Amino acid sequence: MQKRALAAFLLSLSAGAALAQDAAPSAVPQSELKYAPIPLFEGVFAAPVNGSAARPGSLYVLSVKYAAGAKSSPHVHPDARVVTVIAGRFYAGAGPTFDEAALRALGPGDSIVVPANAVHYGWAKDGETLLLEVGIGPSGASLWPKAPLAR
């Protein structure tokens, strides 16, 4: 079920991409993004800004919102990505266990480079947080330590 829900989620994101990679530059106002809940994490939502996370070789950009107090439990992605904090404070950690003492507080402008298959987690402990995630598809996610990556 988790794999199917995540696959449907990724396809819905790719269908609504705001910019085509070969198109002329255009603005993507935050108010026009269409957020959908990420099936793996309660209180975490994503909206496509560009490209398709499901398409191999596609540069994708996602705007990700964590509601106040929302957590992403330890998980992995098959692709490397760069995550930049746009607004709020994001607490990021690495490893197979959510360890509050090991979290690193990041503010607007701070970035995290997440290698492919690196176990990581996060928390919007202090309030709503807005992130921008950039990677090359295909992407997916799998809770750690659970079965194969959902794509």
Beta bridge partners of 64: 46, 131
Give the total number of structural domains in the chain.
1
Mean pLDDT of 112-127: 98
Confidence tier at 24 by pLDDT (50, 70, 90): confident
Q: Look at 7-21, 41-55, 74-88, 107-121 and tell me which has the smallest mean pLDDT.
A: 7-21
Q: Does residue 69 fall inside a structural domain?
A: yes
**Residue 3 predicted with pLDDT over 70:** no
Q: For residue 148, what is the DSSP state?
A: S
Q: Does residue 150 fall inside a structural domain?
A: no
Q: Does residue 80 fall inside a structural domain?
A: yes
Q: Does residue 77 fall inside a structural domain?
A: yes
Q: For residue 101, what is the DSSP state?
A: G
Name the average pLDDT for the chain: 88
What is the pTM (predicted TM-score) of this model? 0.83
Domain assignment of residue 52, given as a range: 2-143
What CATH number does the domain containing 40 carry?
2.60.120.10
Cβ contacts of 23 within 8 Å, gap of 6 or more: none
Higher pLDDT, 46 or 4: 46
Q: Does residue 149 fall inside a structural domain?
A: no
Q: Does residue 148 fall inside a structural domain?
A: no
Q: Does residue 151 fall inside a structural domain?
A: no
